Amino acid sequence: MLDKPASALRLRERLLDSERLMEETGCYDGITELTLRNQDPLKFETLHTKLRAYCVSAREMARRISASPGVREVGEMVVAIYTPEGDAIALSNGIMVHVHTMSRFIKWMIKNNYEENPKIREGDIFANNDAFIGTVQVPDVMDVVPIFHEGTLVGWAGAVCHELEAGGITPGGDVCLAQERFTEGLFVCAEKIGENDEIRRDYVIRCERNLRMPIYWVLDEKAKVASCIDMRESVKQLISEIGLDYWMKVSKEFIEEGRRAQLARTRQLTVPGIYRGHTFYGHVTAGKPGFQLLGDPDWLYNIPIEMEITTDGKITMDFEGTQPWGYHSMNCTPAGMDGGMFVTLTQHMNFEGLVNDGAWMATELKLPHGTWTNPDNEMVATATSWALLLPAYGVFQRLLSRGFVARGFVEEAFVGQVNSPMIEMGGESQYGTPFGMAHFECAAAGSGALAIADGLDTAYVGWNPESDMGNIEVWEQSMPMVYIGRSIVPNSGGAGKYRGGCSFVSTWLINKTSHLRLHTSEHSSRVFDNGGMCGGYPAPTCQKHRAVRNSNIHELAAKGAPLAHAPGIDPHVSDYEKNIGGDHVLVEGPYITSPHKSGDIFSHSYNGGGGYGDVLERDPIKTAWDVENGYLTREAAIQIFGIVLKDDADGYPLADIDATVERRAAMRKDRLAKAIPVSDWIAAERGRVEKADFAPEVKKMYASAIKLSSRFTRDFSDFWNVDAKSIFMPGAKP
Amino acid sequence: MTSYSKEVLGDLAAGKLPWPQTRRIMSAYKDDDRFFKMVAVYQDRVAWKDPILLPVSDHLFICQSGDERITRCECGHSFGDYRKNWKLKAAIIVRNTEEALREIYPNSDIPDPRWMEIREFICPQCGTMHEVEAAAPGYPIVHDFQPDLEGFYREWLGKPL
């Protein structure tokens, strides 16, 4: 019987048994001894390397099937091999955030008795993009196929692609305007979409009828199924070589080994203790077209994190004190939070050895019920959950890095990821056809600084360690816009002894269309959504959008007049305003407005990372190079870093060391003159706190945090020596 | 077992090691003797004699000072008991106006000071900026790190504190 595992236990019972064994022994599946590893370590390691090779090879093959530039060009895909119970044994490179979310999807099907109905048979294909079952957001569509060996279910092969169009209320995948689940687009809820290795025609028709650009989704489905079948056949071949009993044991030992290795690495690289940090996110939608008035239009989110590392090496992250879920698309499910944890661990600690779900098992997330991290309402939208996830896990990276610095592993310290805002679009393509897509050049922002060097410029995002912005020409094939500029944004990295990596800005001319809807998401307004470390400043992440409607660019081009290719470095008057005629637009927050047409100009900038260390220690010579190459401005060099530049004979900037020493001494003196004791500041600020003399959004943030968290209330009250509840929730019971 | 000389680690911490060598260190198996060697590097860097027990920031160290364990700046200034938040004994500059924020962000869009301020925590003796917080007005100052010093030495390093 193909629909029944050969084990005496049904899958559901096996899963529950495995969880019980973990609970009782503290070891995955009750494996207290790594018997096979001890018997033949070389065979053990070789087998895992083979599994990893199966995954990497299957992903690369599948990327050639996909039509989506998101998958083909920038690699928005990951594949993995799982145990029958749904725990990841081995995975490919790519968007590793989904390895554990896929695990949740498989377990969800098992726990919901899919063995009985719709049954799990050889050749079946299951798909899901429901974050409450197991993914991050609606465009992250995952496919899994069971692996049978002579009638026994011996594992699963799974693949995820980030879709560029999900059929939501606004075009693209990260549906910025979604305020409830029902506007996020096409949901596939743990559905059997194919049998006998073939995707069902009626499922494809549903995709074709409900998406703006079905070719991306449908060919990605074929790519994912091809990769799953490829991995499945490789695993079956391997089992025929090593035997079923060995496979069933070794696949679980791999995971237990991964768990132990994670604990050991934590003990090796960090210091036990309590680590704390926070970040913020501003969401500004007042007056924007399309937003329903389901709650206050403008939101300020605080994201405090307390991380504990115990002496046994376990890492626990606690989000108590953060904000409730809201009627916006930035909520996140526990699956998404798991995913963020997993992809961060794989980059910073799980970089060697057997990378798999074992690492995740050595950690714990505390996600307060009712907050954006764990909504108590499954109707909420999660289409842009990265908006809060990325800043949150940027904090996690800084907390871990504090441990690396304390332990002496300064080369591992990293100031962390930032949001990388996304553009989505739809309407009429340059070919005169309907279209919709997300532009994925955002997959190459600036990184936070290291503790020993500047951050990576335009080469890092948190969700995919294989960052890539893609080629301009490829993007131009897919959208009715042509690039008139793509350039480094000076000073976009946070200042510090080591600056954050810089981001870039693109400028487009809208071309050959009479109707182009442009929307953006996942960028914070009015606040920094990242931070610096050890004296470094946050990166400037609250950027506004600049556009020109009805521009005269064609007339200027015909005359050979100079154009503008970037916003420039004057925050008050952009180069577009200086050089191009037309109706200039400046938009704060999500860009949601009436459609554009040919001749309009639109620009969009991405974020750099935070800085590390005191700005007065920055290398003057490196700074001169930065100014020469457009990473820093001359104003920044002198004003922030105290570095005096002069020009060499050819007009290039040259550091004046003596003048710099003198200026820095003066700046240090000035600092000391301006600074006041913290105790004095607290005493003065306390009066403002008592009067709640804050902006309405700030007051609302405190009231929400106090309502949800007794710890936040206590910490706030203790710090200011006030009764927080009576200040921010007058009339509430004490 | 991987191991590096104190000189190499000193250059690594100072950001002076050539990138290819740094890259090799990042990719190699980690050196188990790193902690005490790095402490020795820092100990050579400071002018004071109190033994360093733990580095906690770029220029801040927990050290043994007589019977006390305190947080000390590289310049020698004491921020008191290491279990207390050193920031409360620091000097502070708060940037909560557009003008003050613009000094650090001369060419970018800046936050709304009604929503966000920057707090610079400075050593009152030498003026080193040890930490920067970006926070909403009224947000309590964060106690960044409370190490389990006893557990670290006893259980992870296998040495008495």
Query: Per residue in A402-451, pLDDT tens?
Result: 999 999 999 999 999 989 899 999 999 999 999 999 999 999 999 999 99
The rounded distance, in Å, linking the Cα atoms of A80 and A228 is: 9
pLDDT at A67: 87
List the domain range (segments joined by +) for residue A645.
626-668
Residues A584 and A713 in one domain: no
Which of A280, A411, A540 comes nearest B110 by C-beta? Answer: A540
Which of A277, A527, A635 comes nearest B111 by C-beta? Answer: A527
Residues A659 and A718 in one domain: no
Residues A600 and A631 in one domain: no
The reply to whether omega before A118 is within 30° of 0 (cis) is yes
Q: Answer yes or no: do B91 and A702 touch at CB < 8 A.
A: no
Q: Other CB atoms closer than 10 Å to residue A703's CB: what's the count? A: 18
Has residue A276 been placed in a domain?
no
Could you tell me which of B140, B116, B117 has the C-alpha nearest to residue A281?
B116
Which residues are CB-contacts of A296 (< 8 A; sequence separation ≥ 6)? A697, A700
The rounded distance, in Å, linking the Cα atoms of A526 and A347 is: 30
Inform me whether the C-beta atom of residue B94 falls under 8 Å from chain A C-beta atoms: yes
| Residue finishing a domain among A239, A260, A281 | A260
Q: Please provide residue A421's backbone torsions phi and psi, each rounded to the nearest 5 degrees.
A: -60, 150
Distances (CA, A) of A12 to A21, A111, A119, A152, A552: 14, 6, 12, 15, 65
Mutate to test the interface with A, among B152, B154, B155 (most CBs of A within 10 A): B152
Number of structural domains in chain A: 4
Task: Give strand pairing partners of A308.
Answer: A274, A316
Residues A427 and A463 in one domain: yes
The rounded distance, in Å, linking the Cα atoms of A212 and A223 is: 19
| Residue finishing a domain among A199, A231, A260 | A260
List the A676-677 sheet strands across, edge first: A676-677, B91-95, B117-122, B129-135
The rounded distance, in Å, linking the Cα atoms of B112 and A300 is: 12
A706 touches A729 (CB < 8 A): yes
Which positions in chain A touch B129 (Cβ < 8 Å)? 535, 614-616, 671
Q: What is the pLDDT along chain B (161 residues), one digit of tens a residue?
A: 899 999 999 999 999 999 999 999 999 999 999 999 999 999 999 999 999 999 999 999 999 999 999 999 999 999 999 999 999 999 999 999 999 999 999 999 999 999 999 999 999 999 999 999 999 999 999 999 999 999 999 999 999 98
Which one-letter amino acid corresponds to residue A514?
S
Please tell me which residue of chain B has the smallest CA distance to A612: B58
Residues A596 and A633 in one domain: no
Which of A490, A681, A702 comes nearest B138 by C-beta? Answer: A702
Which of B17, B112, B148 comes nearest A272 by C-beta? Answer: B148
* Separation in Å, CA of A64 to nearest CA in chain B: 30
Q: Other CB atoms closer than 10 Å to residue A19's CB: what's the count? A: 13
* Separation in Å, CA of A367 to nearest CA in chain B: 20
Summarize pLDDT for A629-650 with one digit per residue, the tens: 999 999 999 999 999 999 999 9
A448 touches A417 (CB < 8 A): yes
Q: Answer yes or no: do A702 and B128 touch at CB < 8 A.
A: no
Q: Please provide residue A552's backbone torsions phi and psi, each rounded to the nearest 5 degrees.
A: -100, 30
Has residue A571 been placed in a domain?
yes
Residues A575 and A632 in one domain: no
Residues A83 and A219 in one domain: yes
The rounded distance, in Å, linking the Cα atoms of A175 and A382 is: 9
Task: Quickly tell me which residue has 């992809």 as its tokens.
Answer: A343
Residues A637 and A529 in one domain: no
How is residue A447 annotated by DSSP? P
A455 touches A418 (CB < 8 A): no
Residues A576 and A630 in one domain: no
The rounded distance, in Å, linking the Cα atoms of A189 and A135 is: 11
Distances (CA, A) of A329 to A163, A182, A291: 17, 11, 11
Long-range contacts of the stretch A210-215 (C-beta < 8 A, 24+): A210/A167, A210/A185, A210/A186, A211/A165, A211/A166, A211/A167, A211/A185, A211/A186, A211/A436, A212/A165, A212/A167, A212/A171, A212/A426, A212/A434, A212/A435, A212/A436, A213/A164, A213/A165, A213/A426, A213/A435, A213/A436, A213/A437, A214/A165, A215/A67
Which one-letter amino acid corresponds to residue A534?
C
First-to-last alpha carbon distance for chain A, in angstroms, is 63
The rounded distance, in Å, linking the Cα atoms of A55 and A66 is: 17
Mutate to test the interface with A, among B22, B32, B58, B101 (most CBs of A within 10 A): B58
Enumerate residue ranges in chain A where pLDDT < 70: 1-9, 733-734
First-to-last alpha carbon distance for chain B, in angstroms, is 25
pLDDT at A9: 65
Inform me whether the C-beta atom of residue B101 falls under 8 Å from chain A C-beta atoms: no
The rounded distance, in Å, linking the Cα atoms of B12 and B30 is: 14
Name the token pair of B83. 């279990």
B112 touches B101 (CB < 8 A): no
Give the global pTM.
0.96
Please tell me which residue of chain A has the smallest CA distance to B151: A311
Please tell me which residue of chain A has the smallest CA distance to B155: A311
* Complex-level ipTM beyond the 0.95 threshold: yes
Which one-letter amino acid corresponds to residue A223?
A
Residues A587 and A660 in one domain: no
pLDDT at A734: 62
Has residue A206 been placed in a domain?
yes
pLDDT at A385: 95
The rounded distance, in Å, linking the Cα atoms of A239 and A260 is: 25
Which of B25, B32, B151 comes nearest A411 by C-beta? Answer: B25
Summarize pLDDT for A51-104 with one digit per residue, the tens: 999 999 999 999 999 989 999 988 999 999 999 999 999 999 999 888 899 999
Q: Answer yes or no: do A615 and B141 touch at CB < 8 A.
A: no
Residues A630 and A685 in one domain: no
Restricting to B residues 29-68, those with a Cβ less than 8 Å away from any Cβ of A are 29-30, 32, 34-35, 37-39, 54-59
| Residue finishing a domain among A589, A613, A637 | A613
Residues A576 and A645 in one domain: no
Name the token pair of A28. 């995955």
Summarize pLDDT for A377-396 with one digit per residue, the tens: 999 999 999 999 999 999 99
pLDDT at A295: 86
